[in-house]
């Protein structure tokens, strides 16, 4: 912008304006140009949306003169000479270096004496040619021949200069009026430094200039790049497309393209033949995408890339796995056979599965790793995940510039422009802590989205316009021209390797079939499909071309196709011998070595040495080592001093508890990465991990990066204001290496709902669908504090609804109860009330022998609550995470006389204890905190219920009744309470009753249960759940009193033998252990105390909040 700005300031100043006009000798056309330029200058000056041509021409013009003047001061008018001599003109930083093919105007023979000044017409004509060149560069793509079906293609028309061209007013705008006559066609024109069409020539006949421009910019490639702010980058692109001969290929290269295209086409044809009624989302109409991806990978490998991570939707996915990744074909074909899986998990449809392959690239003879990340139906959701995974791989390899690891994202045209996450992801592309140093985006643009035409699916001219916001060049290319496509791919790979920035390849093709293979496209796109039916496929077109030019023979073409078909047939035969599919074959992020040799039920201790706590505490509370020079804000000095005082007292608040967890993991070599909006300071100003020098810009200090000399790296980074992309990114980051703690923090918990598909499709279900684990932590500030309808609840109920533990199933009790539950569940949901528990649960993420996502409700005002502190003793060796924090006061000393037990979770605990103290009810009411909500601590709830055997049990929560944990905990309390009656442990010390199958006498209030003794477990489990349900005699009874119901296992009662407990522990996913029949009974129950149901996530006003909270506390404390 600096460049344009300089030029416009000059054009606008009265003096400069005069000089400018004088120099143009007042010719009428020149005056028009002056006016137009000045007007454009005003527009541009006033508006950030610069019009590229107008500012460009002025700037180019001044720049041209400046370049001429540099070489020969006499080549410009004396007024310009004076101006440049005065040093007023600043050469912009990105001014193009003087090109080899430029020469001063003065040195140019315009037909007169060499030394004579050019006349005004000559200058005007040169300016017009420059303007036309620039028009083609800026807008030639608008007239390029991109559509293989020709529906949108503009035919060439013969213009007044006698040349046939596609470029019309859209491209040339006002300059179409400047077009020359036929008599000018042989005139020689000097080429400006901003074009490369001349090759080594400094000038060309006008006809040649125009034809070359038309050929470069309005043919099968449409290059969109002139919006890029860097002149260097613009010139780089111009050179790659304008230099004569760039599109020539050797016969070997052509044969390689043909062979690859044959495979891509043959693969779809083979699937169509063998599985004609199966959905495969074939690539027909855009098969060139396969050779295109291979070309990108070949060139990138040649330039140093060793690992490519890809994200892509359904279209052509199987083809990519087969022909780009070279996943064994038999594994792919097995997916069509509907076989049972040999391993755990629910699986996914074949066109969603991921893969990871290491292989030799035969073209470059280098080893390469290719990963295609498993993705859900939700289009584009995988984009940020791929970016996060790529970033992590770069990080672990020390690849700071992205030279070794790169990502490729493949998009559908409708999804690329329609889905907001694309924009959010592209905005991460240049952020220091999120960049992957350039992604190549490939749009498989079949000019349709399901049944919707582009004119109804986007308001932008191209589906790729979103990329303009990050200055990514966009290469549109006709997918029926394989050589044009390969050229574009080569340029894209070189662009990435040179500038490490995103770029886009828009492969404009068509879709030969319906959306999937069983869809009828003629319903909705009749005319388009009439054309498609008549259109030859790309392979045939290209083969014809190569045969015609003599590069290959018809026999060769046939034999290449036949050879590939044979390969497919052999793999097909092999696939038939398979009896099972293995999900593990489709894992995109294998963690080799992580699981091996580990006891899957052993969790490492999370308590640490007190001296480590003190060391971390001291470091964390100290100013930078060079404190004398590093000026810290006074408020922060106070924060540090308060931290120091706490450390001296061996106490930790929330920020310290978190820092202790991070610091100790870093010490143990575990990389910690915390990301999210404003996380460096913390939304509530409690964290302050990055201290800013008050006088020096960008001078910062991060104590956690300086805990120990050999510690692992710590990264904390404020993110862009996105939840969807950033959460997806961190999820992807967490997939790469299990030995890391990756955390994403929402500004307020409820904002996580804009990332819902990352939560639903990846975090909650990733392991089940794709056998992929992640230990990602979501920190969700949560708490009803009268702040208005939003900013309060993190909607914990939504996470709980997706927790996979069975409400009606009390797992076998043993020492391994907690770890088995963790192993079985899809994720952990917790709400900790003490810094020590926060410390332990964070460390437990890494101490576990497997990885589970952790959804953590975190406090807001509680961050500073004087009671929400923990002594070091609760974090030191021997201490551990407490799933439940029992009452430790007078109530616990005499439990049998306690009248009421209030179970709760989160910050309401502190309100409850205060209210209880005010009412002096410490002996009568016990308050029990459920810190780990899911998996539900059945065993500990049972223990508490048994402890307070005469007490009424209530659950209270700060959220409304239809929100918070109530719906989740209620049935689980029932299961725990019902089960609590069989703890007499009579003669069954080593056996366990499955759910509610025995009667007991510990609580006389409880009625007996029904024990439906049916088939053996193993028999039952072998039947599909539906037939089991109907086979059972159990029927559902509901007396509308849920509080007094219990559940009987429809599978049957069966006792659990601890030795065989693992059998149940490995219960097939999706098959409920206890589908459940509800039998009414009286007995201990859990009642709800708290706010009524509400449509809003919080109370609207502070006053209402206080009123409701008081009512809640009153109810909870009534005995």
Ligand X SMILES: Cc1ncc(C[n+]2csc(CCOP(=O)(O)OP(=O)(O)O)c2C)c(N)n1
Q: What is the contact surface with ligand X in residues (CB under 6 A)?
A: 315, 377-379, 412-415, 444, 446, 448-450, 515
What is the per-residue binding string for Mg ion in 442-461, x denoting contact by CB under 5 A?
----x-xx------------
CB of 264 to Mg ion, least distance (A): 17
Q: Compute the least distance from the CB of residue 329 to ligand X, in Å.
A: 23
Q: Which of 252, 100, 263, 111 is nearest to 188 (CA)?
A: 111
Provide the minimum distance between the beta carbon of 446 and Mg ion in the complex, in angstroms, as a whole number: 4
Q: Which of residues 386-425 bind Mg ion (CB under 5 A)?
A: 412-414
Which residue minimizes CB distance to ligand X? 412
The least CB distance from residue 445 to Mg ion, in Å, is: 7
Q: What is the DSSP string of 855-866?
A: EEEE-SGGGG-T
Angle at the Cα of 676 (from 310 to 387), degrees rounded to 5? 10
For ligand X, which is the closer residue by CB, 198 or 449? 449
The entry of Mg ion, ligand X, none that residue 1090 binds, CB within 5 to 8 Å by partner kind = none
Q: How far apart are CA 991 and CA 104, in angstroms?
A: 97
Q: What does each C-alpha distance from 495 to 364, 462, 490, 505, 906 come to in angstroms?
A: 19, 21, 8, 12, 52
Give dist(CA 967, CA 829) in Å, integer.
Answer: 14
Query: Which residue lies nearer to ligand X by CB, 76 or 507?
Result: 507
User: At closest approach, how far in Å is the CB of 534 from ligand X?
Assistant: 21
Site string for Mg ion, 571-600 (x = CB under 5 A): ------------------------------
Considering beta carbons, is residue 477 or 546 the nearer one to ligand X? 477
In the complex, the smallest distance separating the C-beta of residue 855 from ligand X, rounded to whole angstroms, is 23
Six token digits for residue 770: 């794709």
Answer for the pair 811, 907: CB distance below 8 angstroms, yes or no: no
Q: State how far the Cα of 597 lies from the Cα of 99, in Å rounded to an integer.
A: 63
Rounded least distance, CB 1097 to ligand X, Å: 24
The site partner of 409 among Mg ion, ligand X, none (C-beta below 5 to 8 Å per kind) is none
Binding residues with Mg ion: total (CB under 5 A): 6
Q: Is 994 in the site for Mg ion (CB under 5 A)?
A: no
Q: Which is nearer to ligand X, 315 or 501 (CB)?
A: 315
Task: Report if residue 348 touches Mg ion, rule: CB under 5 A.
Answer: no
Q: What's the closest the beta carbon of residue 745 comes to Mg ion, in angstroms?
A: 36
* Choice between 225 and 475, CB closer to Mg ion: 475
Q: Which is nearer to Mg ion, 507 or 842 (CB)?
A: 507
Query: What is the C-alpha to C-alpha distance for residues 995 and 1018, in angstroms, rounded to an integer?
Result: 17
Indicate the residue among 449 and 1090 with the shorter CB distance to Mg ion: 449
Residue 1119 interaction partner, one of Mg ion, ligand X, none, beta carbon < 5-8 Å per kind: none
- Minimum CB distance to ligand X, residue 351 (Å): 11
Strands 900-904 and 870-871: unpaired
Judged by beta carbon, residue 337 or residue 349, the one nearer ligand X is 349
Give the chain's count of helices (H) and strands (E): 38, 34
Between CA 321 and CA 329 the distance in angstroms is 9
The full DSSP string for 839-853 is HHHHHHHHHSSS---
First to last CA, the chain: 73
Closer to Mg ion at the Cβ: 320 or 390? 320
**Which one of ligand X, Mg ion, none is in contact with 377 (Cβ closer than 5 to 8 A by kind)?**
ligand X
CA 645 to chain centroid = 42
User: Quick count: other Cβ atoms within 10 Å of Cβ 360?
Assistant: 11
Report the run of H or E that residue 1024 belongs to, with start and end.
Answer: none
Q: How many CB atoms lie within 10 A of CB 917?
A: 11
450 binds, among ligand X, Mg ion, none (CB under 5 to 8 A by kind): ligand X
Contact 179, 161 (CB under 8 A): yes
What token pair was written down for 664? 């100790």
Give me the least distance between CB of 778 and ligand X, in Å please.
Answer: 21
Separation of alpha carbons 337 and 339, rounded Å? 5
> For residue 1070, how many other CB atoms are within 10 A of its CB?
11
- Least separation, in Å, of the C-beta of 444 and ligand X? 6
**Residue 503 CB, nearest approach to ligand X (Å):** 19
506 near Mg ion, rule: CB under 5 A = no
Q: Which does 415 bind (CB under 5 to 8 A by kind): Mg ion, ligand X, none?
A: ligand X
Q: Does 298 bind Mg ion (CB under 5 A)?
A: no
Minimum distance of ligand X from residue 183's CB (angstroms): 49
Contact between 380 and Mg ion by CB under 5 A: the answer reads: no
**Tokens, residue 550:** 């003599």
| ω into 719 cis (within 30 of 0) | no
Q: What is the distance of C-alpha 234 from the center of its chain?
A: 29
Partner whose footprint covers residue 156, from ligand X, Mg ion, none (CB < 5 to 8 Å by kind): none
> What secondary structure does DSSP assign to 1034-1091, as a single string?
------S-GGGEEEE-TT---EEEGGGHHHHHTPPTT--S---EEEE--S--EEEEEE
DSSP percent split of the chain into helix, strand, coil, nearest 5:
45, 15, 45
Closest separation in Å from C-beta 380 to ligand X: 7
Give the residue with the Cβ less far from ligand X, 315 or 979.
315
In the list Mg ion, ligand X, none, the entry touching 74 (Cβ below 5 to 8 angstroms by class) is none
Contact 513, 276 (CB under 8 A): no
CB of 309 to Mg ion, least distance (A): 23
**Which is nearest to 223 in space by CA: 4, 473, 482, 595?**
473
The option from ligand X, Mg ion, none interacting with 353 (CB < 5 to 8 A, set by class) reads none
> For residue 191, what are its two tokens?
């080429």
| From the list Mg ion, ligand X, none, partner contacted by residue 369 (C-beta under 5 to 8 A by kind) | none
Please state, in angstroms and rounded to a whole number, the distance separating the CA atoms of residues 652 and 643.
8
Q: Please count the CA atoms within 13 angstroms of the CA of 703 that sit on its side-chain side.
A: 24
9: CB partners within 8 A, 6+ apart: none
Residue 813 engages Mg ion in binding (rule: CB under 5 A): no
Nearer to Mg ion, 449 or 853 (CB): 449
The nearer residue to ligand X, 60 or 761, going by C-beta atoms, is 761
User: Which partner, ligand X, Mg ion, none, binds residue 226 by CB below 5 to 8 Å per kind?
Assistant: none
3-state DSSP call for residue 503?
Answer: strand
Query: Length of the chain in residues, anyone?
Result: 1119
For ligand X, give the closer residue by CB, 351 or 1056: 351
Least spacing, CB of residue 529 vs ligand X, in Å:
14
Q: 518 — alpha (psi -120 to 50), left (phi > 0) or beta?
A: alpha
Peptide bond into 244 cis (omega under 30): no
Task: Give 479 or 655: the residue with its C-beta nearer to Mg ion.
Answer: 479
Q: Shortest approach of ligand X to residue 671 CB, angstroms?
A: 32
**Which of ligand X, Mg ion, none lies near 315, with the C-beta cut-off 5 to 8 A by kind?**
ligand X
Summarize as ranges the residues that interact with Mg ion (CB under 5 A): 412-414, 446, 448-449
């Amino acid at each position: 912008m600096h460049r344009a700005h300089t030029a416009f300031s000059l054009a606008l100043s009265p003096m400069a304006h005069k000089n400018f006009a004088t120099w143009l000798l007042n010719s009428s056309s020149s005056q028009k140009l002056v006016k137009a330029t000045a007007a454009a200058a005003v527009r541009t000056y006033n508006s950030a949306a610069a019009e590229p041509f107008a500012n460009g021409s002025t700037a180019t013009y001044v720049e041209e003169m400046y370049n001429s003047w540099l070489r020969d001061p006499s080549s410009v008018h004396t007024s310009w000479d004076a101006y440049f001599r005065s040093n007023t003109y600043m050469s912009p930083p990105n001014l193009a270096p003087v090109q080899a093919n430029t020469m001063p105007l003065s040195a140019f023979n315009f037909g007169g004496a060499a030394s004579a000044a050019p006349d005004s017409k000559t200058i005007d004509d040169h300016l017009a040619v420059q303007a036309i060149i620039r028009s083609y560069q800026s807008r030639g793509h608008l007239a390029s021949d991109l559509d293989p079906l020709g529906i949108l293609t503009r035919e060439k028309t013969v213009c007044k200069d006698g040349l046939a061209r596609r470029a019309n007013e859209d491209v040339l705008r006002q300059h179409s009026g400047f077009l020359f006559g036929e008599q000018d066609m042989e005139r020689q024109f000097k080429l400006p430094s901003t074009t490369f069409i001349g090759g080594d020539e400094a000038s060309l006949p006008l006809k040649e200039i125009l034809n070359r421009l038309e050929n470069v910019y309005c043919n099968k490639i449409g290059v969109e790049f002139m919006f890029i702010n860097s002149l260097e980058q613009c010139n780089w692109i111009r050179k790659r497309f304008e230099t004569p001969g760039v599109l020539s290929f050797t016969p070997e290269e052509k044969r390689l393209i043909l062979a690859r295209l044959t495979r891509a086409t043959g693969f779809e044809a083979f699937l169509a033949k063998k599985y004609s009624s199966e959905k495969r989302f074939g690539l027909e109409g855009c098969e060139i995408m396969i050779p295109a991806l291979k070309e990108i990978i070949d060139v990138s490998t040649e330039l140093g890339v060793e690992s490519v991570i890809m994200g892509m939707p359904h279209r052509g996915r199987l083809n990519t796995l087969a022909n780009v990744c070279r996943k064994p074909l038999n594994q792919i074909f097995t997916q069509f056979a509907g076989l049972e899986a040999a391993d755990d998990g629910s699986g996914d449809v074949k066109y969603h599965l991921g893969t990871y392959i290491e292989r030799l690239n035969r073209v470059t003879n280098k080893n390469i790793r290719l990963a295609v990340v498993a993705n859900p139906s939700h289009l584009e959701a995988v984009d940020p995940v791929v970016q996060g995974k790529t970033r992590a791989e770069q990080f672990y390899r020390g690849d700071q510039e992205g030279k070794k690891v790169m990502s490729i994202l493949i998009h559908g045209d409708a999804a690329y422009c329609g889905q907001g996450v694309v924009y959010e992801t592209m905005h991460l592309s240049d952020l220091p802590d999120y960049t992957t140093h350039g992604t190549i985006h490939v749009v498989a643009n079949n000019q349709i989205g399901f049944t919707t035409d582009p004119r109804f699916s986007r308001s932008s001219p191209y589906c790729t316009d979103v990329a303009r916001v990050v200055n990514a060049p966009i290469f549109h290319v006709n997918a029926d021209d394989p050589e044009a496509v390969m050229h574009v791919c080569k340029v894209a790979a070189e662009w990435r390797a040179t500038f490490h920035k995103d770029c886009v390849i828009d492969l404009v093709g068509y879709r030969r079939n319906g959306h999937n293979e069983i869809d009828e496209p003629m319903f909705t796109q009749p005319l388009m499909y009439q054309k498609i039916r008549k259109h030859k496929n790309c392979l045939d077109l290209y083969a014809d071309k190569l045969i015609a030019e003599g590069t290959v023979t018809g026999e060769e073409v046939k034999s290449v196709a036949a050879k590939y078909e044979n390969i497919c047939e052999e793999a097909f035969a092999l696939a038939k011998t398979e009896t099972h599919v293995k999900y593990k074959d489709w894992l995109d992020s294998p963690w080799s070595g992580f699981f091996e040799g580990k006891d899957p039920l052993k969790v490492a201790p999370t308590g640490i040495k007190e001296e480590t706590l003190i060391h971390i505490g001291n470091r964390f509370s100290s100013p930078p080592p060079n404190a004398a020079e590093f000026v810290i804000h006074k408020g922060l000095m106070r924060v540090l001093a308060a931290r120091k005082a706490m450390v001296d007292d061996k106490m930790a608040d929330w920020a310290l508890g978190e820092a202790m967890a991070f610091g100790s993991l870093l010490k143990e070599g575990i990389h910690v990465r915390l990301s999210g909006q404003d996380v460096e300071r913390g939304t509530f100003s409690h964290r302050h991990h990055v201290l800013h020098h008050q006088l020096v810009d960008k001078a910062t200090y991060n104590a956690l990066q300086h805990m120990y000399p050999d510690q692992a790296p710590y990264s904390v980074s404020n993110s862009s204001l996105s939840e969807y992309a950033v959460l997806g990114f961190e999820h992807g980051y967490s997939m790469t290496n299990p030995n890391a703690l990756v955390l994403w923090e929402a500004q307020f918990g409820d904002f996580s709902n804009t990332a819902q598909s990352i939560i639903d499709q990846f975090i909650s279900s990733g392991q089940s669908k794709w056998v992929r684990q992640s230990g990602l932590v979501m920190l969700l500030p949560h708490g009803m504090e009268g702040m208005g309808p939003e900013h309060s609840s993190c909607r914990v109920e939504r996470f709980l609804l997706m927790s996979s533990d069975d409400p009606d199933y009390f797992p076998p009790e043993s020492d391994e109860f907690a770890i088995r539950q963790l192993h079985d569940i899809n994720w952990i949901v917790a709400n900790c009330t003490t810094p020590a528990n926060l410390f332990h649960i964070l460390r437990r993420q890494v101490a576990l022998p497997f990885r589970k996502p952790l959804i953590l409700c975190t406090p807001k005002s509680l961050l500073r609550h004087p009671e929400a502190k923990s002594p070091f003793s609760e974090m030191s060796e021997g201490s551990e995470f407490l799933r439940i924090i029992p009452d430790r006061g007078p109530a616990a000393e005499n439990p049998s006389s306690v009248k009421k037990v209030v179970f709760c979770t989160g910050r309401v605990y502190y309100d409850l204890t205060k209210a209880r103290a005010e009412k002096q009810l410490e002996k009568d009411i016990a308050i029990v905190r459920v810190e780990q909500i899911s998996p539900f601590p059945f065993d500990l709830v049972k223990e508490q219920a048994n402890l307070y055997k005469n007490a009424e049990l209530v659950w209270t929560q700060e959220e409304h009744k239809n929100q918070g944990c109530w719906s989740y905990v209620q049935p689980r309390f029932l299961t725990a309470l019902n089960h609590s009656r069989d703890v007499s442990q009579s003669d069954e010390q080593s056996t366990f009753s499955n759910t509610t199958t025995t009667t007991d006498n510990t609580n006389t209030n409880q009625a007996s249960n029904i024990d439906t003794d049916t088939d053996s477990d193993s028999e039952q489990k072998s039947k599909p759940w539906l037939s089991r349900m109907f086979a059972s005699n159990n029927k559902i009874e509901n007396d509308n009193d849920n509080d007094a119901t219990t559940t009987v296992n429809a599978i049957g009662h069966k006792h659990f033998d601890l030795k065989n407990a693992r059998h149940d522990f490995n219960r097939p996913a999706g098959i409920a252990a206890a589908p459940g029949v509800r039998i009414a009974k009286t007995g201990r129950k859990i009642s709800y105390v708290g706010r009524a149901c509400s449509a809003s996530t919080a109370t609207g006003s502070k006053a209402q909040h206080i009123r409701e909270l008081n009512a809640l506390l009153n109810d909870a404390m009534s005995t």
